[in-house]
Amino acid sequence: MKKILSVFFTIGLLFCFVGCITEKDDGNYVAEDFIDSSYDTSFTPQNRAQEIVYNMQFGWNLGNTLDATASLQNAGLSTEIGWGQPKTTQEMIKGLKNLGIKTIRIPISWHNHISKVSDYTIDSKWMNRVKQIVDWAYDEGMYVIINIHHDNASKGNFSAGKGFYPSEDCKEESLKFITRVWEQVSETFKNYDEKLVFEILNEPRLQGNGEHEWSYNSGCSTCKDAMNSLNEFNQNALDTIRASGGNNANRLVMVPSIAASPNAAFNSDFKLPIDSAENALALSVHMYTPYDFAMGAPGDSVFTNSHKKDLDWYFSELNKLYVSKGIPVVIGEMGATNKDNLKHRAAWFGYFVQHSRRYGMTACVWDNGSWDTSNIAHGDKNDNDLDDKYEEKYGYYNRTKQEWYFPLLMEVALKASEIK
C-alpha cells in the first residue's frame, strides 16, 4: 500500500508541476512558472514572409502617441503628447531594445497633419518627426511597423480631410486620402530594408455604427459594402506601395480585415489583395482574446481552461486559413487589462505567446500608458465601479524610467517568443 501511495503521490507531484501554478507571493513568481516547457513551439517558415514574421518575435506598441488626434486640420507636433504620453525620446527606444523587445509598432495618424487638403500633402515637420522615431528603432536593429492608424472617420463626420470611411458613397475621397498618404510614406522609406514593415490600415471599420462597428455580419448589406470597400482600399494601397520602387517592391505589407478582427478575416468576403511581389504579404489581426478576460471590465479576472480553448480555436483557424497557405500572421495588438490579477495575466501571456509562436506568429503588446488601477482615467467614473477601475489598463512600459511596470509579464512574453 505504501508503494501504491508513493506512486500516486509522485504522479500527483508531476501533474501539478506540468499543469498547475504553485501559489506564491506575487513578488516570488518567475517567468518559468508560466512557460510550458513540454509545449513544442518550433516553427519552420515556408517562405520569406513567414521568416520575417517569425524573426520579429515579440513586439511593443508606441500607443497613444503619434496616433493621437486633435480637432485641428494641421495640428502640429504637439499631438504627440496630446493623449497624456511623454514625448518620445531615443532613450525610450534604446530602453526597449535593452529589455529584449525585437519589434516596435508605431501607430501613426495622418489626417491631422495635412498641410494641403486638396492633394493631401503631409506636413513636412510631421513626416520628419515620424522618420526620426522610426530611425531610432531601425538603427537599433529592431523591426518597425508603421501604418495609417486613427484616420477612420465616422460616416456622419466624414468629408475631405477627415481620413477614410469604408463605404461605397465615401470610397472616392477615402481612396484619394489612402493613396496619397501611402505615396508619400512609401517615397520617404523606400530604401529601408525588410526590417521596416508597412501596415495598410489600423482596424478599418464602420466607425460609429453601434451594431456593426466591431463585428462583421455577411448577411448585413452595410457590412458587405464596408468589406467590399476595404478590399479595394487594401488593393489600391498595396499597388501604390509596390509602384513606389526601391525596397517597397518586395516589402512585407500587413493587410487588415474589418476591425482587424480574426472573425472577419475568416469570412470569405474578405480578400487578400493581388500582389506583384511573391511572399510579401501578412495578415494583420488584433486579439484581446478572450474578451471577457483580456478587455472586459470587470469581466473575468481568472484565466481558465475555457479561455485557453478559445485561444486554441483562434490560433488553429488562423493557421488553417492563412499560415498553412504561406501567409504569416502578425497580431499587431494584444494584451490583458490589469485587474490586479498578476498571476493570471502572466498565465495568459505565457499561453497566448507560446501558442501563437507554434504557428510562426508574432504578437505586439498594446501599451497606452495606463496601468494603475487606483487611477480612474476615463472621465465621469465612480471609483467603486470595477468596470471603471479595470478599463483599458494596458500600460506595460515606464517610458520615463525605461523599465517595465510589470517585469514578470514581459519576461514571460519574451521568453515564450524565443526562437527554437
Query: Which residues are registered as beta bridge partners of 197?
Result: 145
203 is an active site residue: yes
Query: Which residues are registered as beta bridge partners of 147?
Result: 199
Angle between helices 305-321 and 342-357 (to 10 degrees): 20
Instruction: Say which residues have a Cβ less than 8 Å from residue 162's Cβ, sequence separation at least 6.
Output: 111, 153
Q: Of 173, 203, 232, 411, which is the active-site residue?
A: 203
Using the CB atoms, write b or e for 29-46: b if 16+ within 10 Å: bebebbbeeeeebebebb
One-letter identity of residue 213: E
- Residue 388's Cα: distance from chain center in Å? 23
Cell matching residue 229: 470597400
In whole angstroms, what is the distance from residue 189 CA to residue 181 CA?
A: 12
**Cα–Cα separations (whole angstroms), residue 96 to 105, 119, 209, 336:** 12, 37, 37, 20
Query: Which residues are registered as beta bridge partners of 198?
Result: 146, 253
DSSP-derived 3-state class of residue 296? coil
Q: Identify the CA nearest to 250 among candidates 202, 200, 192, 201.
A: 192
In whole angstroms, what is the distance from residue 183 CA to residue 344 CA?
A: 44
Q: Identify the CA nearest to 356 among candidates 325, 326, 334.
A: 334
**Cα–Cα separations (whole angstroms), residue 392 to 40, 239, 324:** 32, 36, 33
Q: Of 80, 111, 113, 149, which is the active-site residue?
A: 149
Find out whether 185 and 240 touch, Cβ atoms under 8 Å.
Answer: no
In whole angstroms, what is the distance from residue 206 CA to residue 209 CA?
A: 6
DSSP-derived 3-state class of residue 366? coil
Q: Of 80, 173, 199, 333, which is the active-site residue?
A: 333
Catalytically active residues are 149, 203, 333
